[in-house]
């Protein structure tokens, strides 16, 4: 029999007066999994997280962590969840070990166990060498790692990390990724928010895309990518910028009426979306050549998580209109919108 999900969110709704910040959100995360929680500014991510960690009450719906109700069982929730916000706070004249000791004491870890636990958490996050350094003198990347060590002190089952890779250089991001994967291997369940989508796609096995308080896509990376890749994005690279419009016109005559065609004179290329098969695309390529266009590349653009995100964001544009804190119009590829992936 399969284990029930560690995090279970059912029809979670949060209203501020008339404004619906979260609209019947339902999703779940299994033990040892890493959920990428994605959404533009104002989508409702922080609102969801606040409810999960017991800092806010939903207007309707329910959230549980390892069976504990996020509203009624707040003491249990504190023990079960480690939350790392996206800001570190200011801790002057405190060394890393003192900082962690302070939080260990706040979690009521007995002093003799605390020192051992601090060493363990520093080791897991590759921060042992920072132990005697002053917190305020740490780099941003070092602070992020100490922040995770702090989150681990009371050995929570679920870790909620808000933008852990934000502001990190490429090397620090790789290290962060390794830490998060190690935590999942240890059986921790992770919910990670991020705006660095390619980074997130390397660590998450499940992805949830929230826009305007609603779940727009949910499932494994493969499920979401399969949905959006029903239409592929093709790219035609030309030798001359002047030929771009002519190329776009010819493509328009050959593909579906609702195909999205994006000419870029600056890059001497045309991108378009289509469900035409390989044979039909080969005909198009031949036609472009016969029309005197010098095509140097004709290829399918691989889709990534960013495309999925832009795809569902674009779909929302035609929906319920503006909303405070919404995302600017994305320069998306216009691939077919993803339906929420059922699990």
Ligand X SMILES: Nc1ncnc2c1ncn2[C@@H]1O[C@H](COP(=O)(O)OP(=O)(O)OP(=O)(O)O)[C@@H](O)[C@H]1O
Q: For the purposes of burial, counting CB atoms within 10 Å of the CB of 116, is it exposed (0-12), middle (13-18) or buried (19 or more)?
A: exposed
Q: What tokens does 1 get?
A: 């029999």
At residue 190, what are phi and psi to the nearest 5 degrees? -120, 140
Nearer to ligand X, 110 or 321 (CB): 321
By CB under 6 A, is residue 87 in contact with ligand X? Answer: no
How many whole angstroms separate alpha carbon 207 and alpha carbon 222? 10
Residue 41 near ligand X by CB under 6 A: yes
Q: Which stretch binds ligand X (CB under 6 A): 41-49, 127-135, 151-159, 309-317?
A: 41-49
Residue 196 main-chain phi, psi, to 5 deg: -90, 85
Element (H, E) at 11: strand 7-16
Nearest approach in angstroms of CB 316 to ligand X is 13
Q: Which residues contact 240 (CB under 8 A, 6 or more apart)?
A: 268, 294
Q: How far is the CB of 300 from ligand X (least distance, A)?
A: 32
Give 332's contacts (C-beta < 8 A, 6+ positions apart).
307, 310, 311, 313, 314
In the complex with ligand X, which residue's Cβ is closer, 17 or 170? 17
Query: Which residues, numbered 11-30, are part of the site for ligand X (CB under 6 A)?
Result: 16, 19, 21
Q: Is residue 149 a contact point for ligand X (CB under 6 A)?
A: no
Q: Which is nearer to ligand X, 56 or 262 (CB)?
A: 56
Q: Shortest Cβ distance from residue 82 to ligand X (Å)?
A: 19
Tell me if 150 sits within 8 A of 125, measured CB to CB: no
Interface with ligand X includes 43 (CB under 6 A)?
yes
Task: Identify which of residues 128 and 166 has a Cβ nearer to ligand X in the complex.
Answer: 166
The yes or no reply on residue 85 touching ligand X (CB under 6 A) is no
Nearer to ligand X, 42 or 141 (CB): 42
Q: According to CB under 6 A, which one of 12, 29, 47, 127 is a site residue for ligand X?
A: 47
160 binds ligand X (CB under 6 A): no
Residue (of 230, 183, 229) closest to 35 by Cα position: 183
Q: Print the binding letters for residues 202-241 with ligand X: x by CB under 6 A, - otherwise.
A: ----------------------------------------
Site string for ligand X, 292-331 (x = CB under 6 A): --------------------------------xx------
d(CA 64, CA 73): 9
Residues 146, 101: contact at Cβ < 8 Å?
no
164 binds ligand X (CB under 6 A): no
Contact 97, 84 (CB under 8 A): no
DSSP 3-state assignment of 217? strand
* Beta carbon of residue 40, minimum distance to ligand X (angstroms, whole number): 7
Rounded to a whole number of angstroms, the CA Rg of the chain reads 24
> Which stretch, 38-46, 115-123, 131-139, 256-264, contacts ligand X (CB under 6 A)?
38-46
Whichever of 37 and 99 has its CB closer to ligand X, that residue is 37
Nearer to ligand X, 5 or 44 (CB): 44
Q: Which stretch binds ligand X (CB under 6 A): 39-47, 199-207, 313-321, 331-339?
A: 39-47
Read off the DSSP letter of residue 205. Answer: S
Q: In the complex with ligand X, which residue's Cβ is closer, 21 or 215? A: 21
Burial, 115: exposed, middle or buried (Cβ in 10 Å; 0-12, 13-18, 19+)?
middle
Separation between Cα atoms, residue 236 and residue 201, nearest integer Å: 27
Q: Give the CA count within 13 Å in the CB-facing half-sphere of 29.
A: 29
Q: Which spans of this chain sit near ligand X (rule: CB under 6 A)?
A: 16, 19, 21, 39, 41-47, 324-325
């Amino acid at each position: 029999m399969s284990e029930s999900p560690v995090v279970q969110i059912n029809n979670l709704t949060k209203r501020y007066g008339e404004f619906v910040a979260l609209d019947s959100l339902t999703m779940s995360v299994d033990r040892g999994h890493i959920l990428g929680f994605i959404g533009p500014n104002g989508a409702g991510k922080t609102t969801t997280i606040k409810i999960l960690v017991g800092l806010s009450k939903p207007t309707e719906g329910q959230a549980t962590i390892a069976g504990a109700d996020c509203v009624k069982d707040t003491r249990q929730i504190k023990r079960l969840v480690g939350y790392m916000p996206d800001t570190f706070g200011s801790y002057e004249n405190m060394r890393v070990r003192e900082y962690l000791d302070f939080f260990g004491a706040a979690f009521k870890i007995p002093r003799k166990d605390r020192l051992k636990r601090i060493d363990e958490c520093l080791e897991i996050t590759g921060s042992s060498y920072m132990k005697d350094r002053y917190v305020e003198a740490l780099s941003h990347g070092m602070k992020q790692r100490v922040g995770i060590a702090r989150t681990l002190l009371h050995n929570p089952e679920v870790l909620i990390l808000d933008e852990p890779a934000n502001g990190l250089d490429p090397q620090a991001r790789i290290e962060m990724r390794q830490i998060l994967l190690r935590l999942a291997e240890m059986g921790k369940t992770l919910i990670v928010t991020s705006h660095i989508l390619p980074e997130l796609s390397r660590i998450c096995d499940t992805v949830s895309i929230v826009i305007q308080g609603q779940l727009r896509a949910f499932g494994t990376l493969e499920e979401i990518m399969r949905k959006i890749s029903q239409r592929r994005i093709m790219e035609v690279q030309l030798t001359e910028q002047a030929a771009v419009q002519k190329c776009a016109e010819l493509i328009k005559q050959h593909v579906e009426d609702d195909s999205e065609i994006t000419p870029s004179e600056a890059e001497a290329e045309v991108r378009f979306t289509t469900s035409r098969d390989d044979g039909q695309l080969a005909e198009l390529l031949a036609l472009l050549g016969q029309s005197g266009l010098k095509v140097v590349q004709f290829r399918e653009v691989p889709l990534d998580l960013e495309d999925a995100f832009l795809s569902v964001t674009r779909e929302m544009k035609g929906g319920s209109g503006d909303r405070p804190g919404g995302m600017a119009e994305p320069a998306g590829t216009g691939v077919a919108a993803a339906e929420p992936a059922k699990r």
